[in-house]
Structure 1
Amino acid sequence: MDAAERRRELVGAIVAARKDDESVVFEAADARVTYENRTLCLSVTDEERDRLEALLDDYHVFKVEQPATRKAEPGVVYLSAVTDAKHAADFVDSLFSEVYGADEGYDIRVR
């Protein structure tokens, strides 16, 4: 799957989740990201958390949700994702490649 196909799939899944008011789970690179109600939920190690903070500097519209993240299990981060579906898909794709280290041609699983 190339990057354009992957992003189209991500956009479609996010649009459908919003329309149906349901959650969608993205899995790749032994990582899982859940999108629900304009919020992303992900688990990160300390090293991945540092990479996430760097990524958030490039995507200013995404913010760590507090107090949800403080109350969550260690390593669980909630991010507000109040943006259009394309921008959210771009961010999710970047999460897998830049935070979780997925290869350039990685495949995404959507559930």
Structure 2
Amino acid sequence: MSRFSADTPKERRKLVMDAITAHRERGSPFCTLLAEYDFEPAEMEGEPESDDEWEGEDERDSEDDAEVEEAPPWIQFGDQTLNLDCTDEELDRLKNLLREFPAFKIEQLESPEEAEGTNVRISAKADVNRIAQFVEQSLQTVYECPKSTTVWAVEV
């Protein structure tokens, strides 16, 4: 594998296919794909119209920082299985997306008490192209990533 990131739908799908192929050729336990994009909360877009808009901002800074510092979406693939973490809302969107991919089935849901969200393991008994399509659709539909999202193959 000679490149490790892509930022258009077509290139992201190709990157996923290349990463899975490299993972299989190396016999590694899994490959990990990480989405990266600039997050700007809607309420923070643009400049304030007056100083009054920034009143109380200090109290909200820690909450806003927590949202911005959330871990970016990631998807792992190994042994015909996709592994990803979802919030409750993302899990609902994932279940809806799976209707379009009948060869993909949820095998395990795990929601540890100390974690916010659910770890999902999905059997992916499909060719590498279909898996890449699923990963791309997951980024767009489940995680609602912007079209300009960069995907990194961070572990192969």
When the two structures are superposed, what TM-score results if normalisation uses the length of structure 1?
Answer: 0.89
| Contact 1:21–1:37 under 8 Å retained in 2 | no
Between Structure 1 and Structure 2, how many residues are aligned? Answer: 107
Contact 1:61 1:81 in 2 (8 A): yes
**Amino acid corresponding to residue 88 of structure 1 in structure 2:** I
Can you give the 5+ residue segments of structure 2 that lack an aligned partner in the other structure? 1-6, 37-71, 113-117
Percent same amino acid at aligned positions?
31
Partners of 1:2 and 1:46 in 2: how far apart?
Answer: 27
Structure 2 residue aligned with 1:48, among 85, 90, 94? 90
Of 50, 64, 79, the match for 2:122: 79
Structure 1 residues 50-90: Cα deviation after superposition (integer angstroms, max 9, x where no partner): 0000100001110011xxx24x3440110001111010011
- SS of the aligned residue for 1:105 comes to coil
Distance 1:96 1:2 in 2: 12
- Which of these residues, 17, 21, 25, is aligned with residue 19 of structure 1? 25
The Cα of 1:17 is off from its aligned counterpart by 1.4
Q: In structure 1, which of residues 31, 35, 39 is the aligned counterpart of residue 73 of structure 2?
A: 31
1:99 corresponds to which residue? 142
1:38 CA drift (Å): 1.0
Q: Of Structure 1 and Structure 2, which has the larger fraction of its residues in helix?
A: 1
Where do 4+ consecutive residues of structure 1 move more than 4 Å?
none
Larger Rg: 2
